[in-house]
Structure 1
Amino acid sequence: MTQRNLLQPSAVALFLLLPWFGELVAGEISRDFNNCLDFFYNRFPPSGTRAVGYQPICQRYKNQYRFASLYHRTHRTPLYSAYVLSPADGKRPNATWMYEPQLAFSGAHPEMEPFHIPVDQNVIESQAVLQDYRNSSFTKGHLNPSMHQKTAEDREATFTLTNIVPQKAGSNSGPWSRLENDVLKKFTTYCEGPMYVITGAMPYKSNIPLINNRVSVPEYMWSAYCCPSYKSGLPQSVQQFFPTYAAVGRNDPNSGEEIVPVNVRAKAAVRGYDVRRMSLETLEGILVDRLAMPISLFDGGCRE
């Protein structure tokens, strides 16, 4: 692997549609992912053309880094969360929702904290809060799902709103949930080393809808994994899924079908929330076209 400046991938990882750009958040939160590079394949975050506006967060809980997110304070949603998949050793925890203090207060303790009542105005201005989701018709959609994390503490850490996007229930508990289970099954069945996962949100091209006039709603969800070490002699039926694979899921049943076709035979509750599975290259091509940025999610395409 070619030696590179470790600061470079973090700088170029900030990519998004031009209308979403803003100033990089100041404060003690790092300007890069240097404290949590282990959550990325080869310790390199996604690369692309640099665009300001997003804040790297090394998600820290109970004195340990648990995963990484790229967050936009103005739009109050992450672009993606990156993690190493590890099957849960227990049940989904009771949700104690948390926030990121350093987004609200420069010099705050670098750990996520449970929401306090009443919520401080600085917190409300800097990030999403629980009130934003009430009566919104959207669920709190995990980018890093709790059941992809081994320990109770790891699972609890996923319940921070800096890991959440507004997701329709038909997607969250339907086709997208099945995709998460399928990725977990492929890991446990075929991977012989770590699986690196990056899951994100794809914004609308224009006229971005908001919940509570504050939190941006994604038009699509997307996810990709990298499993560089897998079993030899894979059945032909699964060879296409390694070392990488990806998917895009609809979060708006009224969106066009140029990215994800609609299965008109699906049950009414999940119709229009289809998930299209695809190669990593296809997903990156969609993101490049949609975001107008050259994007590479895994260093070297996840090729050892």
Structure 2
Amino acid sequence: MSPLAALLPLVFAAAWCRVSEADVGGFAPCLQVFYKSWPPKGLTGTPVCQRYHDQYRFATLYSRPRRSPWFSAYSYSVPAGKRPTPSWMFEPQLAYPGAKGNMAPFPPGPLDRNVVESQAVEPDYINSTYTRGHLNPSLHHQIHEDRAATFTLTNVVPQKAGSNDGPWEDLENHVNKSLAAFCLGEAHVVTGVVPYRGDGPWLGGRRVAVPEYLWSAYCCPVYNHSLPEELREAFPTHAAIGRNDRNSTEEIVPVSQEAKRQFRGFDVRRMPLKTLEEHLKDRLGVAVSVFYEQCSGSD
């Protein structure tokens, strides 16, 4: 048995774990990344304020049993500079309640038992058929430190390359261009996952749960109203769901014949925020509100 396998927990809790917001401090220190300082409602897990170089960069709701995030939330800024060279990190605060809040690079040598049990680690992804799919992408940030901070394994989920390097990347680029061109105020983004209805695939011997879909939504209440026709319905908020399994049924994201050839089944469907929340309620069995007053609150 490998050292990593020997450290696996003997019992997994249910996928939806209810964790007190006192755990790892809640979202109180990083509420500024949410629209109106209002985190999404209905989703449960371990709140993590992602801190890098002593500054809070974004927020993640993490699932300890699944060892992957339910969502990451961040403030968008027009990107500048090159994509940082990946230097993958972990969250000491998940492994040790008294640890400092800064994310840290994986050390050389054997992995700490508490780290392995509390979150995903690099060996989980090695030799798997999945890439490390960012929920908070480096592309959506301007400052180098903000971009580098996205390379923590608490911000990624197992994502098929056909999605990560195809339609999902196209969506991230589309959101980037739309917000950069027409958002006049601060834009807030939340990106998360939709689990399988039953027990879906896992990485590393049932260590890291694979999502069936990814979803994303943005909120920009102050924008240029001289929008092109194709963006008239995309402000102040818009959303999308992308397939992470080409064999999924099509009730959430239909697949066109042309898309089957071009995207190999990893299509992304853009939709109003309300439609996204309806799909989340149907799949998760709980009402989910992504933004305060559907991003329509007075600014």
TM-score (norm 1): 0.89
1:121 positional shift: 1.3
Q: How does 1:98-117 map to 2 (within 5 A)?
A: 98-117=89-108
1:120 to 109, 112, 115: 112
- Match of 2:81, as an amino acid? G
1:88 positional shift: 1.8
1:263 aligned residue? 256
Q: Is the 8 A contact 1:249 1:260 kept in 2?
A: yes
Encode CA deviations 1:2-44: one digit per residue, 9 max, x unaligned: xxxxxxxxxxxxxxxx9413352798611x2111011111110
1:262 positional shift: 1.3
- Gaps in structure 2 of 5+ consecutive residues: 1-12
SS in 2 for 1:42: helix
Q: Is the 8 A contact 1:264 1:271 kept in 2?
A: no
- Gaps in structure 1 of 5+ consecutive residues: 1-17
In 2, the alpha carbon distance for the partners of 1:290 and 1:27 equals: 27
Encode CA deviations 1:40-63: one digit per residue, 9 max, x unaligned: 111101122x75xx1000000000
2:5 aligned residue? none
2:57 aligned residue? 66
1:29 aligned residue? 24
1:73 positional shift: 1.2
1:297 to 270, 290, 298: 290
Return 249-258 or 261-270, whichever deviates more: 261-270
1:89 positional shift: 1.3
- Match of 1:84, as an amino acid? S
SS in 2 for 1:67: strand
Q: Is the 8 A contact 1:73 1:126 kept in 2?
A: yes
1:210 aligned residue? 202
1:83 to 74, 89, 112: 74
Return 117-126 or 128-137, whichever deviates more: 117-126
1:235 aligned residue? 228
Question: Percent of counterpart pairs with the same letter?
Answer: 53
1:293 positional shift: 0.6
1:269 positional shift: 7.1
In 2, the alpha carbon distance for the partners of 1:199 and 1:22 equals: 19
2:10 aligned residue? none
Encode CA deviations 1:112-138: one digit per residue, 9 max, x unaligned: 000012211111111000000011100
Q: Does 1:38 align with 2:32?
A: yes
Q: Does 1:281 align with 2:279?
A: no
In 2, the alpha carbon distance for the partners of 1:156 and 1:39 equals: 17
Q: How does 1:191-210 map to 2 (within 5 A)?
A: 191-210=183-202
- The count of corresponding residues between Structure 1 and Structure 2 is 283
1:244 positional shift: 0.6
Considering only aligned residues, what root-mean-square deviation do their CA atoms show, in Å?
1.7
Q: Does 1:20 align with 2:11?
A: no
Q: Is the 8 A contact 1:28 1:107 kept in 2?
A: no
In 2, the alpha carbon distance for the partners of 1:269 and 1:235 equals: 26
SS in 2 for 1:207: coil
- Match of 2:147, as an amino acid? R
Encode CA deviations 1:101-121: one digit per residue, 9 max, x unaligned: 011112111110000122111
1:249 to 242, 245, 260: 242
1:154 aligned residue? 146
2:134 aligned residue? 142
SS in 2 for 1:187: helix
Return 257-266 or 229-238, whichever deviates more: 229-238
Q: Is the 8 A contact 2:132 2:159 kept in 1?
A: yes
1:194 positional shift: 0.9
CA 1:115–1:188: 2 relative to 1, 3 Å? same
Encode CA deviations 1:164-213: one digit per residue, 9 max, x unaligned: 00000000000000000000011111110011100001100102210112
SS in 2 for 1:176: helix
In 1, the alpha carbon distance for the partners of 2:209 and 2:20 equals: 18
Q: Is the 8 A contact 1:27 1:102 kept in 2?
A: no
Q: Is the 8 A contact 2:16 2:63 kept in 1?
A: no
TM-score (norm 2): 0.91
1:235 positional shift: 3.4
SS in 1 for 2:29: coil
Q: How does 1:167-186 map to 2 (within 5 A)?
A: 167-186=159-178
In 2, the alpha carbon distance for the partners of 1:301 and 1:25 equals: 25
SS in 2 for 1:29: helix
